[in-house]
Structure 1
Amino acid sequence: MRTTATRARTVEYEVERVRLGRHVSRRAVRQLLTDHAEYGGWELTRLRRYADGTREVWIRRKIIKVMPSI
C-alpha cells in the first residue's frame, strides 16, 4: 500500500513594478496591461496615479513549480 503525504501548498508570485510617465495615454496603459495579462499571464495587483500624472503599476503572476515525480 502506498501512502501520500499531504503537502501544504503556498502560492508564490513574481511581482513587477512598472512606472509610466505622464505622457502615456490611458488607452496605451490599458493596452500594455492587456498584453501583459494575455501573453505573459500577469494580473494587475495595484495601480497608483500621482498628482504629477505619473502612474505606478504593480503586476504579478504565479510561480509554477514542477514537483518531481516519484
Structure 2
Amino acid sequence: MTLEASVVHGDWEYQPVRLPRDVTRLNATAELGLRSRFGGWELARTLLYADGTRKVWLRRKLSRMREGAAV
C-alpha cells in the first residue's frame, strides 16, 4: 500500500491510498478496517484501474484539535 499526502477540503481530511494488484481483497479489507477503527477514517471512494491496481480515498471529519496541531 502506498499512502499519498493528505488533502483537506472543507470539513474533511482525505487520505488517498494506492493498492497494488497483488493485494487481495481480504488483505485490503483488513488494512482499511484497521485504519477505520484506529484512525477514524471511512471509505469515501474507490477506483479500479485496468492494470488491476486500486486507489481508495479515505476521509475523516476534521476535529478542532487536529486542525490546531496541523497549523
Q: TM-score, normalization: structure 2?
A: 0.73
- Separation in 2 of the partners of 1:17 and 1:32? 14
Q: Deviations over 1:23-58 (max 9, x none)?
A: 111101100110011110000000111111000000
Structure 1: which 5+ residue stretches go unaligned? Answer: 1-10
Bigger proportion of residues as strand = 2
Q: Which residue pairs with 1:34 in the alignment?
A: 33
- What percentage of aligned pairs have identical amino acids? 45
Q: What's the TM-score, normalizing by structure 1?
A: 0.74
CA distance in 2, matches of 1:47, 1:28: 16
Larger Rg: 1
Query: What is the Cα-based RMSD across aligned positions, in Å?
Result: 1.2
Instruction: Give, in whole Å, the separation in 1 of the partners of 2:64 and 2:51.
Output: 40
Gaps of 5+ in 2: 1-9, 66-71
- Which structure carries more relative contact order (alpha carbon 8 Å, separation 6+)? 1
Is the helix fraction higher in 1 or 2?
A: 2
Q: Which runs of 4+ in 1 moved over 4 A?
A: none
